[in-house]
Amino acid sequence: MSGEYDLVVLGGGAAALAAITEASGRGLSTAMVNTGLPIGGTCVNVGCVPSKHLLAVGENAATPQENPFDAV
């Protein structure tokens, strides 16, 4: 690992992941500097994505006659 990179991204949220992925796909060397939440940021780890999963589970539990699963 050298000390020089084509792109250094500050933060580890969704936009940072998109930037790193795009840059890596174009052959650029990349580094990410992230503190706080795990990689993915608030939306992926504690915000949007988990809440959507919990809402879907709640909807299935509320309507057992329409539940596609054997058990809830």
- For 36, the domain range is 7-62
Mean pLDDT calculated for residue range 25-35: 92
Decide if pLDDT at 32 tops 80: yes
Considering Cα of 20, then 9, then 18, then 23, what sign does the dihedral take?
negative
Q: Quote the mean pLDDT of the chain.
A: 79
Quickly state the pLDDT bin for 62 (edges 50, 70, 90).
Answer: low
Give the number of other CB atoms < 10 A from CB of residue 1: 5
Is residue 72 a part of any domain in this protein? no
Beta-carbon contacts of 4 under 8 Å, excluding residues fewer than 6 positions away, are 29
Name the percent of the chain lying above pLDDT 70. 68
Is residue 33 a part of any domain in this protein? yes
Is residue 32 a part of any domain in this protein? yes
Q: How far apart are CA 35 and CA 60, in angstroms?
A: 36
- Please give the model's pTM, rounded to 2 decimal places: 0.54
Is residue 50 a part of any domain in this protein? yes
